[in-house]
Structure 1
């Protein structure tokens, strides 16, 4: 039986063309899936896709994010880029939890208040959101404009 986490991550990584996984690692995950996929696999994928909230990308604009951040104690902003990227400039108030270390840092990600993830372009954010969603987080959203959209809007960065 394929776990939801493996299936979900496989789905995201396949959609992203294995951008963040070496081919050998992607092949190892893909080997867990029977070929052709069983009815169980189709059902699991369908459940995953149907469990995504209708407002999956609720924070679509810089202005929306700024409004949410004004209520600082209500939102946790997570930069899922690598530490060197974070150190070069991040959205003020963001904490850095690289996407590769999300599962090791779940204690920093609350379940009782809104959490917004961002990266450079949205790819790592999608991976992080999918992983957290599969782990039961229903309060996580993304900021698709990411840091590039924030900078393009002329907003300040914190170092």
Structure 2
């Protein structure tokens, strides 16, 4: 929950920018989707941040590890890092969709599973999570990403 109106405005602005970048990278935005709904989108973003508790959009590394150890067929992991970093080591079962390509690959993301995204430190993962949730997906971001979270906790990676 936002502590100040200024914080909410910063998050709204950042989310709208991420949303637009993904739309542009993904080949543009359908005109029918834009219409004159800028105010509706703005209000949806504000409401999203004001009402969403942290546990619904972030996942601690230990919780993800526990879910993966149990099998977790209802999860879909997305590694947002570069292809080279993915090849050097990623969380078992993760698909590699670099951040710049998310917009072009929305059709590859399942709507019937919880999408867990992670990046290097959690920043890009958090932005992607917000965008995916606003687009109707159920997404969560790995708290500290790969470097500040998963690897720091000593959890395994596959190559």
* Common fold by TM > 0.5: yes
Q: Note the C-alpha offset of 1:53.
A: 4.8
Q: Note the C-alpha offset of 1:120.
A: 0.8
**CA separation in 2, counterparts of 1:113 and 1:91?**
17
**CA separation in 1, counterparts of 2:42 and 2:156?**
45
Aligned residues: 129
**CA separation in 1, counterparts of 2:139 and 2:104?**
17
**CA separation in 1, counterparts of 2:82 and 2:94?**
13
Q: TM-score if structure 2 supplies the norm length?
A: 0.67
**CA separation in 2, counterparts of 1:113 and 1:155?**
23
Structure 2: segments with no counterpart, 5+ residues: 1-9, 22-38
Contact 1:57 1:144 in 2 (8 A): no
**CA separation in 2, counterparts of 1:78 and 1:130?**
14
- The reply to whether residue 131 of structure 1 matches residue 131 of structure 2 is yes
47 and 151 in structure 1: CA distance in 2 versus 1, 3 angstrom threshold: same
2:7 corresponds in structure 1 to none
Q: Note the C-alpha offset of 1:108.
A: 2.1
**CA separation in 2, counterparts of 1:42 and 1:52?**
16
1:27 corresponds in structure 2 to none
2:106 corresponds in structure 1 to 106
Contact 1:9 1:131 in 2 (8 A): no
- The reply to whether residue 11 of structure 1 matches residue 14 of structure 2 is yes
**CA separation in 1, counterparts of 2:110 and 2:12?**
21
54 and 146 in structure 1: CA distance in 2 versus 1, 3 angstrom threshold: closer
1:66 corresponds in structure 2 to 65
> Please, which moves more after superposition, 49-58 or 86-95?
49-58
RMSD value, Cα:
3.0
- The reply to whether residue 140 of structure 1 matches residue 139 of structure 2 is yes
- The reply to whether residue 121 of structure 1 matches residue 121 of structure 2 is yes
9 and 108 in structure 1: CA distance in 2 versus 1, 3 angstrom threshold: farther
Q: Deviations along 1:124-152, whole A, 9 cap, x unmatched?
A: 10121122122111x11111121122112
